Structure 1
Amino acid sequence: MRIDDETWRQLLAPDGTAAASKFQRNFVRAAVARVTGTRPSLMHLTLGQAASVFDYIGESPAKLNAGGRGEAGVEKAGVIAQWTLLGLLLMVVTLSSPAGILLAAGIVGLIFLMRKRRRRRQAWEDETWSGNSDVPSPTPDVRTGVEVSGTATPLHPVSVEAATAASRRNHAKTPKGEPYRMSLGRPEWPNVEVVGEHAYGEGIRAALRASGALTAQRSEGEAESLQVELVAEPDNPYDSNAISVRWNGRVLGYLSREDAVRYAQPVRRIIASGLVAASSARIWAYDEGNQLRARVTVALPEPAMIAPLNEPPTGVNTLLPWGSGIQILKEEDHFDVLSRYVPSEGIGLLFVTLHKEIYTLKNGTQRPFVEVRLNGERVGELSNVTSAHLLPLLDHTEAVGETALAYAKITGSALAAQLVLQAAKATEISTAWLVTGPHTAPKLLPTATEYVVPPAYVK
């Protein structure tokens, strides 16, 4: 399990609760290290933040007060015991041999080195994780695990009610049968090199000028986030697997032969399904007048992450925009379901649906959370913190009669599987997206060994 920086910023958002004690901080650090393999510093951790971290990694916040942690007297005794044991250790080492003084000095030096290293780590955490979250996280009471504050922020800048009404009005206006532009480079920086740019200077110049990046000869220009299409060319006389990268119908270059082989099947499947294989590109060029020196790169995920392994469910679904990864909890309890979808490559993409469910605590308090289902079967749930980021969105989709559909990345083997949700949070959704639903998932042809695509080669 990995906790990304954005999640840490949300977990460590200021919450007004008291500071966690030294033993509580170290207990949280050790728990995070067991789950992620990395031990954070967390010198400024509060009780509310500690509870949120525990909730996110699947631990009970009640453990923060177990064993006397948080009790001033117990912790003071523990500190005294620690220093006493260290003093005894240094005394024994010093008296045990002639080299004991050097060994004791080495132990003390190592302690100071570790403290210095932790301070550097803390400085990095303060700089990287100090951002405030737009959505307040629910803060559980560390004694009971019950949420005592925090409600999900309404969708901004329009209210749920207004967006719901507008969405209903626009349902009838959704065009039917038009190609769905399927971005292959959803979360990626342009990472794949395009070849043959020298032969397509006219198209590259046109793209740069249209973006205002190239205004005169003997000048340098750069354009980012350029929307391009990947076009399979089965009639290409030089390579039947050729895939050109085009902007407004103009060829900018080609994927290399090696990359064309890797991406041929997923790109052809998209085109054969009546869709457009779309991505973003970056162009750098220097116009020398009679010659253009250019470099084009295009954003592409791994081939296995282009097309979902399953079909979207029937009914009225709306596909949430791609977002940063969110760890799905308790997927290990549903390996009997997930094992049927783990691909031979060990990684793949799935469609999952998100549902608002209610969990009733022992004291009768009801806590909403997000349940994740795969083809109608439960495969996990989100933590309290991450559920709070998506519940306003689920309230909206439910109000307009839609089921929230999202992408999820599955990794695993015949022994275990892990599921990571790739969905935008409520605060990341634009007003335009809310009022133009439903956003149907792309419908692809079934998996096949070969797809028929039209000739597309241009000289």
Structure 2
Amino acid sequence: MHLTLGQAARVLEHVGQSPAKLNAGGRGVPSLEKAGTFAQWIMFGVLVLVLIVTVSSPTGFLLAAGIVGLMFFFRKRRRDRQAWEDATGAVSPVSGVQGIAVPDVQIEAPANHAAPKRVASEAQAPISPVTRPVSSSQGLYRVSLGRLEWPNVEVVGEHAYSQVIKAALRGSEAPIVARSDSEVEGVQVELVSEPDNPYDTNAISVRWRNQVLGYLSGEDAIRYAQPLKRIIASGLTAVTTARIWAYDGGDQLQARVTVALPEPELITPLNEAPTGVTTLVPWGSAIQVLKEEDHFDILFNYVPPEGVGLLIVSLHKAIRTLKNGAERPFVEVRLEGERVGELSNVTSAHLLPLLEHTETIGETALAYAKITGSALAAQLVLHAAKATEISDDWLSDGPHPAPKLLPRATGYEVPPAYAT
């Protein structure tokens, strides 16, 4: 198991140890690390020279070759480990950022995107306009939907926004000091679509307190354009968490920002939430829905062209009468009021106490479900927290309605947001 420096620091603090030991020996300080590498190579060269001069037997030759091999092995291992830490161990493949052109600092918008492109149509519905003005008081839409937030997508153009990055670090109680690095994780950031961006109409900026930290790469901006525009056009603010690392070299700030983003098709649901008094159950571990094959005639209409998508389903307590006359409760899964499957007896037992509570207070429990399929078959996987995982605060603060989004469309009109 590997940890980033920030995660390791929190572990050490939790067990009562000083995080300062992570930087022992000058780790993370480029000048010291370069000096250490230079010294290692000098010692390595002296050792090999001594072996060649003093040992001429086959055994000595094999010993020298072994030392050379070990040196390269440990150096590669250390380099790979550091690269893994810096890359934060993305769960899914992330598009690269090579070849991205970024402007000088005085230009307040990076030209880091390719020529404007339009996202392929997801449905045959018309373009949806903005229904209400965007304001700072609007609701938040967490693109992770409650999943573990892992900063897996690279932000580009950070060097043009060094002052904002420093402010974000200070605001997160991780101030940056000259000739040292600073890192913070879990920083809430907004994802803002900029249709009026003069460099790329698909541009998506990453902002902290409405100040630009950087941009998604051109390729990622195209991939995430549709779901983010749908969120914004619905009058909501798309938010996620970020990891910010920076090193103050004195004359220039080196910075790296990564944000947590799931795959685009798993950000917004394919359908709208049911009407009435509903409450959305927190995201939980995957639960296989059973007997969905008996309802393929319904599910077929919701399988997206990509083959994978997100749905909002409702959960209901149902009773099954056994042959001996005994009654056994279970959880029934419905989509747009139609039955599309059920949960096993064991899994149902984990959710029934929650459903009994919501039904008692007159609410319908909703949950997210991942649909995977084709023209031949479909599979549903529910993501709902168990009753034992629900906090008392969540129960008392209810109901928790699902975010109201505009229907899926080929495109969405969003307000201008380019920061000049």
Q: CA deviation at 1:197?
A: 0.8
Q: CA deviation at 1:215?
A: 4.7
- Secondary structure at 1:339's aligned position in 2? helix
Partner of 2:405: 444
Structure 2: distance between partners of 1:388 and 1:448 = 38
TM-score by length of 1: 0.60
> What is the CA deviation profile of residues 406-438 of structure 1, one whole-angstrom value per residue up to 9, with x for unaligned ones?
110000000000000011112222222211111
Give 1:45-444 correspondences, 5 Å limit.
Answer: 179-186=138-145, 187=147, 188-444=149-405
Structure 1: distance between partners of 2:158 and 2:386 = 38
Larger deviation, residues 409-418 vs 280-289: 280-289
> What is the CA deviation profile of residues 133-160 of structure 1, one whole-angstrom value per residue up to 9, with x for unaligned ones?
xxxxxxxxxxxxxxxxxxxxxxxxxxxx
Contact kept, 8 Å, 2:176 with 2:248, in 1: the verdict is no
Structure 1 letter corresponding to 2:226: Q
Structure 1: distance between partners of 2:391 and 2:251 = 44
> What is the CA deviation profile of residues 54-112 of structure 1, one whole-angstrom value per residue up to 9, with x for unaligned ones?
xxxxxxxxxxxxxxxxxxxxxxxxxxxxxxxxxxxxxxxxxxxxxxxxxxxxxxxxxxx
Structure 2: distance between partners of 1:427 and 1:227 = 28
- Secondary structure at 2:309's aligned position in 1? strand
Q: Percent identity?
A: 73
Alignment coverage as a number of residue pairs: 283
Structure 1: distance between partners of 2:396 and 2:143 = 24
Distance 1:178 1:318, change over 3 A: farther
Q: CA deviation at 1:364?
A: 2.7
- Secondary structure at 2:302's aligned position in 1? coil
Q: Which runs of 5+ in 1 are unaligned?
A: 1-176
Contact kept, 8 Å, 2:233 with 2:414, in 1: the verdict is yes
Structure 2: distance between partners of 1:178 and 1:388 = 40
Q: CA deviation at 1:233?
A: 0.7
> What is the CA deviation profile of residues 194-217 of structure 1, one whole-angstrom value per residue up to 9, with x for unaligned ones?
101111111111111222223522
RMSD between superposed Cα atoms in Å: 1.6
Q: CA deviation at 1:178?
A: 6.3
Contact kept, 8 Å, 1:214 with 1:220, in 2: the verdict is no
Structure 1: distance between partners of 2:349 and 2:254 = 49
Contact kept, 8 Å, 1:370 with 1:382, in 2: the verdict is yes
Structure 1 letter corresponding to 2:375: A
Contact kept, 8 Å, 1:331 with 1:380, in 2: the verdict is yes
Contact kept, 8 Å, 2:287 with 2:382, in 1: the verdict is yes
TM-score by length of 2: 0.65
- Secondary structure at 2:213's aligned position in 1? strand
Q: CA deviation at 1:273?
A: 0.7
Contact kept, 8 Å, 1:231 with 1:246, in 2: the verdict is yes
Structure 2 letter corresponding to 1:373: R
Structure 2 letter corresponding to 1:223: V
Structure 2 letter corresponding to 1:253: G
> What is the CA deviation profile of residues 338-395 of structure 1, one whole-angstrom value per residue up to 9, with x for unaligned ones?
1111111100010100001112222233221111000111111111221121111111
- Secondary structure at 1:354's aligned position in 2? strand
